[in-house]
Amino acid sequence: MPSTAPKPAQDVGRTDLGRRIAARRVGLGLTREQVGDRCGADASYIAYLEERAADPGAGSLLRLADALGTTVAELTGATVDQPPGRGTAWRDTELVELGEAECRRLLSTHGIGRVAICTAVGPAIVPVNYVVAGDDIAFRTSGEALLARAAGTEVAFEVDHIDDAMKQGWSVMVVGEVAGVTDGDARQRLDALARSLPWAGGHRTHWMSVTPVRVTGRRVVRQ
């Protein structure tokens, strides 16, 4: 009997629309059968949308977006060049503090975050692909980059998630000293942990890590 477990997002999706549908579905931990049940479609149709150059109608897209808890604009890429969080907020929301355990859970194992550093010409914020290595946050850069020159200084690392459809989100900030990873065995372990090459491309093989001294977070929720 074939498995109904969600496939990794990178294993499905042949078009931009298909990849967005697959990524959202897998992120929610749903099978194609479950998404089909939510929007009144057969699992084979969900597979077709993910794997073929499909052109579904407005009604189908609306039902699919609703089943995936997102918007048609997000699924079709209409918002790709817009910052997240453009929707109107709920009136009954509040900002709640998160405990350290919840913050570390949200950091998960890997993703994209931002490193804030001080430079000779002022503050800078640099997005990076990161991995969680024990208690530390590690990322790759080039040996001549701003981040490499920040070794030995205190930095802030921030990661967040915005759910435009639900008008909710969270952010986690880690403060600590950043250092270059010079031990060969440690670098090999980080290479093994890395889920992908840095999205920015180029020769980015210089590993750095942030050892946290403070971990804080906040979440926007409806009352």
Any bridge partners for residue 159, and if so which?
172
Cα distance between residue 191 and residue 77, in whole Å: 32
Using a pLDDT cut of 90, give the percent of the chain over it.
58
- Contact call for residues 98 and 104 (beta carbons, < 8 A): no
Look at residue 11 in the predicted model and tell me its pLDDT: 47
pLDDT one-digit tens code per residue, 127-159:
999 999 999 999 999 888 899 999 999 999 999
Q: Which CATH architecture has domain 93-222?
A: Roll (2.30)
pTM beyond 0.75: the answer is: no
Whether 4 has a pLDDT exceeding 80, the answer reads no
Distance from first CA to last CA of the chain, Å, rounded? 44
* 9-76 shares its CATH topology with 93-222: no
Whether 79 has a pLDDT exceeding 50, the answer reads yes
Q: How many CB atoms lie within 10 A of CB 48?
A: 16
Residue 128's nearest CA partner among 206, 35, 214 is 206
pLDDT one-digit tens code per residue, 107-130:
988 899 999 999 888 999 999 999
Sign of CA dihedral 8, 13, 14, 20: negative
Q: What is the CATH number of domain 9-76?
A: 1.10.260.40
pLDDT one-digit tens code per residue, 162-197:
887 777 899 999 999 999 999 999 999 999 988 888
- Segments making up each domain of the chain, as ranges: 9-76, 93-222
